[in-house]
Structure 1
Amino acid sequence: MMLVYDRETLISAAQRAGDHNPSDTARRLGVARNTAWRLWKGRTAPSAPVIAAVQRHYGLSADDLIRRAA
């Protein structure tokens, strides 16, 4: 079983909250800009602390962001 990070879900939630680029997301989540950029581009999956911040600020859970792929 492979787990896949769904970056589009994060980006959609961020944009609904008024965050239109990785810098906005970095400020809101309290992460480095390069971390937010990698999340927006799908270059990395969020760590547990980042998922907690995403849930707090955007209302998305780990299940919303990480999916099982066949």
Structure 2
Amino acid sequence: MTYDRTLLRAAATGTGDRTPSDLSRRLGVAPATGWRLWHGHTAPSAAVAAAVERAYGVPASQLVKPEAREARKVAA
């Protein structure tokens, strides 16, 4: 899976969240999780992706995408 942290950061800053701490407060996740999401060190879980969609309006399908090889397996 490929996680687009730039999309999350753009949505967050568009709503006034400028730091990983702001992100973690809005999403209701641990500060360490907010930091890892902000810096792209981890992809969001299903629950966090749902929280991102509720908080920022970014669908999980845009935030996390299968890699090309995974997409071919699904299509086959």
Give me the TM-score of the superposition, normalised by structure 1: 0.91
Structure 1: segments with no counterpart, 5+ residues: none
Q: Residue 34 of structure 1: SS of its match in structure 2?
A: helix
| Percent identity between the two aligned chains | 56
Counterpart selection for 1:27 from 25, 28, 31: 25
Q: Tell me the equivalent position of 1:4.
A: 2
CA distance in 1 between counterparts of 2:34 and 2:14 reads 16
Deviation of 1:68 (Å): 3.3
Q: Tell me the equivalent position of 2:36.
A: 38
Structure 2: segments with no counterpart, 5+ residues: 69-76
Deviation of 1:69 (Å): 3.3
Deviation of 1:22 (Å): 0.3
Deviation of 1:66 (Å): 1.0
CA distance in 2 between counterparts of 1:40 and 1:51 reads 13
Deviation of 1:17 (Å): 0.7
Write the deviation string for residues 21-67 of structure 1: whole angstroms up to 9, x where unpaired. Answer: 00000110100010010001111000011011100000011111112
Point out 4+ residue stretches in structure 1 off by more than 6 angstroms. Answer: none
Larger Rg: 2
Q: Tell me the equivalent position of 2:62.
A: 64
